[in-house]
Amino acid sequence: MPDYIKDPVRIEEESFKQIKALTDLSGFDEQQQQVVMRLVHTCGNPDIAQQVKISSEAIAKGIKAIENRLSIYCDVEMVKQGLTKRYLNVEPKCFLNHPSVAEKAKENSETRTMTALQYWGEDIYDGIAIIGNAPTALFRLLENIKQGKAKPALVIGIPVGFVGAAESKEYLWQQYQSLGIECITIVGRTGGSALAAGAFNTLVRLQRGLRF
């Protein structure tokens, strides 16, 4: 058994020391670098920094939403459970397991994550939407925004997969300005609940003045 570090503070310090040395953070401002480093830490791959896209007002709008205790919606429970709730004054919401979602999704021949978005309602206005699993949920969210329905201030869109993931995130990045939203995403197939939650948790840290 090799010797290993047990102290959590030392582990975090050493982790981010290595991340800063191994990751190309050029092109990101100081706050954006915090998000990128957290994403690198989450997946253990410094090269992912080249795929991270953060719109110019994304962090500011995210922090404002947190400060104003606005709604936070998640596509799946894994994202919701990954959020640092001890710093939040609102309970994040996820309707994937709503009693009627499965039946309605079957009737409409669509994924449950798509159907669950109909329960978000206007409460999402100026809040934060976090999509970390389902490309179909991101597509549906963007469809709703395009149709003029209540929209979040910030979309953290980092779904994972081989069907629709890259396409949904590319559309988000190409269209966020015309849709009137800010966004954080990782282009390509890479994504997942842990990365989406990690991006949000960085905003919570920044709102409280915490940095790596």
Predicted model pTM: 0.95
| Nearest to 212, CA basis, from 92, 85, 36 | 36
Which pLDDT band holds residue 43 (cuts at 50, 70, 90)? Answer: very high
The domains of the chain, with CATH numbers, are 50-193 (3.40.50.10230)
Tell me the per-residue pLDDT of 3-20, one tens digit each, with 9 for 90 and over.
898 889 899 899 999 999
Quickly list H helices, the chain.
Answer: 8-22, 30-43, 58-67, 77-82, 101-108, 112-116, 135-146, 165-179, 193-207
| pLDDT average, residue stretch 37-51 | 97
Whether the predicted pLDDT of 61 surpasses 90: yes
Based on DSSP, count helices (H) and strands (E) in the chain, helices before strands: 9, 5
Alpha-carbon gap, residue 11 to 204, rounded angstroms = 21
- For 45, 66, 152, the CA distances from 27, given in Å and listed in that order, are 18, 26, 26
Contact 131, 111 (CB under 8 A): no
- pLDDT band at 118; cut points 50, 70, 90: very high
Residue 1 pLDDT greater than 90, yes or no: no
Report pLDDT for 183. Answer: 98
pLDDT band at 127 (very low <50, low <70, confident <90, very high): very high
Active site members: 41
Lowest-pLDDT range of 7-11, 105-109, 130-134, 187-191: 7-11
pLDDT in tens, 157-208: 999 999 999 999 999 999 999 999 999 999 999 999 999 999 999 999 999 9
Tokens standing for residue 108: 């409409």
Do 133 and 75 contact (CB within 8 A), yes or no?
Answer: yes
